[in-house]
């Protein structure tokens, strides 16, 4: 059987960094994110007795994809070979992490193609085994991942925010976040971050609940900087920013606009603002290549 699914990437307001169980991808802390309308992966999965071998179009790591397919074949009791075709809405060279959208789309498409009937919660748990942040790309809009699964806090139309993604060219090869997670506890700042997180998460949820944009922006930036301090002080250290990353961070702060930055495991900068300020923020970023994202629904079949 054959199925196609589309899934968004997501930007974490409160980051997932470090995992208690590497194999099960169980995080030390809950994380909160927003799905991105313009950064999506479309994946077609087909199983057939007629295929002689598994095949995967180049995506986010053939071996990791097939491991995930094996997991799902086992669940369905299938031994049919697979064909996986993946397409990203964003160019590969941009260095946008595609594992979240990739594993979310793969999970939803493969479940349908295998005839598995799974709840959204079960789909998030499965996607998590492929890539942690992928579980947040399955529910709609604004999402919280806590322990084994993720769920929607608010639908996409709850709050008209923007994530203006600034694409920073990166010549150096990105370090995979998987290895980085495992080394996180070696940072002397790791425990401190864990201690700070419960109240930070409460502040983030309160800001979402009350639509207090300044409070939301401040807590987003605070957690981004805290996670990157952990990354930079772990062994071996991970340093994802380059000169352009820092320039955008400075430009945003200097502009005095109600806009806040956040950065994942790469040099790109996500600038978060309200829809009413989009024009002014885009103007401030006019010398950079950008993608303007709105809050989006989660992974679904097409």
Query: Which range of residues in 176-184, 196-204, 215-223, 281-289 is near ligand DP6 by CB under 6 A?
Result: 176-184
Question: 192 to 221, contacts with ligand DP6 by CB under 6 A?
Answer: none
Site track 78-117 with ligand DP6 (rule: CB under 6 A), x = hit: -------------------x-xx-----------------
Query: Which range of residues in 83-91, 127-135, 278-286, 291-299 is near ligand DP6 by CB under 6 A?
Result: 127-135
Which stretches within 114-183 are classed as H helix? 120-130, 177-183
The token pair at 52 is: 């002689």
Task: Compare residues 4 and 35 and give the one whose CB is closer to ligand DP6.
Answer: 35
84: DSSP letter: E
Measured between alpha carbons, how far is 138 from 116 in angstroms, rounded to an integer? 16
176: DSSP letter: P
Beta carbon of residue 73, minimum distance to ligand DP6 (angstroms, whole number): 21
The token pair at 217 is: 């922006």
> Pick from 3, 4, 9, 16: which binds ligand DP6 (CB under 6 A)?
16
Site track 46-85 with ligand DP6 (rule: CB under 6 A), x = hit: ----------------------------------------
Query: Which range of residues in 35-43, 173-181, 203-211, 282-290 is near ligand DP6 by CB under 6 A?
Result: 173-181
Measured between alpha carbons, how far is 301 from 45 in angstroms, rounded to an integer? 11
Q: Is 245 in the site for ligand DP6 (CB under 6 A)?
A: no
Q: Is 248 in the site for ligand DP6 (CB under 6 A)?
A: no
Q: How many helices and strands, by DSSP H and E, does the chain display?
A: 8, 13
Q: Using an 8 Å Cβ cutoff, are 45 and 297 in contact?
A: no
> Pick from 55, 62, 178, 233: which binds ligand DP6 (CB under 6 A)?
178
Coil, strand or helix at 51: coil
Beta carbon of residue 241, minimum distance to ligand DP6 (angstroms, whole number): 13
Closest CA to 165 of 248, 100, 251: 248
Q: Angle 271-272-274 (CA atoms, 0-180°, nearest 5)?
A: 135
Measured between alpha carbons, how far is 35 from 290 in angstroms, rounded to an integer? 17
Measured between alpha carbons, how far is 131 from 101 in angstroms, rounded to an integer? 9
Beta carbon of residue 71, minimum distance to ligand DP6 (angstroms, whole number): 14
Q: Using an 8 Å Cβ cutoff, are 158 and 139 in contact?
A: no
Count of residues that interact with ligand DP6, criterion CB under 6 A: 17
> Pick from 177, 187, 268, 293: which binds ligand DP6 (CB under 6 A)?
177
Question: What residues make contact with ligand DP6 under the rule CB under 6 A?
Answer: 12, 15-17, 25, 31, 97, 99-100, 131-133, 177-178, 181, 264-265
């Amino acid at each position: 059987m054959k199925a196609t699914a589309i899934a968004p990437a997501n930007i974490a307001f409160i980051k997932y960094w470090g995992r208690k169980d590497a194999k099960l991808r169980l995080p030390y802390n809950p994380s909160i994110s927003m799905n991105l309308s313009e950064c999506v992966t479309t994946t077609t999965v087909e199983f057939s007795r007629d295929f002689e071998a598994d095949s995967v179009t180049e995506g986010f790591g053939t071996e990791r994809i097939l491991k995930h397919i094996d997991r799902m074949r086992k669940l369905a009791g299938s031994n049919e070979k697979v064909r996986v075709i993946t397409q990203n809405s964003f160019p590969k060279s941009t260095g946008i992490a595609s594992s979240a959208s990739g594993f979310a789309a793969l999970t939803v498409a493969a479940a349908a193609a295998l005839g598995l009937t799974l709840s959204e919660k079960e789909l998030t748990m499965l996607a998590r085994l492929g890539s942690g942040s992928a579980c947040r790309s399955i529910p709609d809009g604004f999402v919280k991942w806590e322990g084994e699964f993720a769920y929607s806090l608010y639908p996409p139309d709850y709050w008209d925010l923007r994530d203006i993604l600034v694409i920073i060219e990166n010549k150096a090869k990105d370090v995979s976040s998987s290895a980085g997670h495992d080394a996180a506890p070696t940072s002397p700042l790791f425990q401190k971050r864990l201690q700070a997180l419960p109240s930070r998460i409460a502040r983030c949820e309160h800001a979402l609940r009350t639509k207090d944009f300044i409070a939301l922006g401040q807590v987003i930036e605070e957690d981004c900087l805290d996670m990157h301090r952990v990354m930079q002080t772990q062994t071996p250290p991970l340093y994802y920013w380059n000169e352009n990353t820092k320039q955008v961070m400075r430009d945003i702060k200097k502009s005095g606009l109600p806009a806040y930055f956040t950065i994942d495991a790469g040099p790109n900068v996500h600038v978060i603002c309200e829809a009413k300020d989009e024009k002014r923020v885009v103007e401030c970023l006019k010398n950079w290549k950008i993608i303007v994202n709105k809050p989006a629904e989660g992974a679904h079949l097409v």
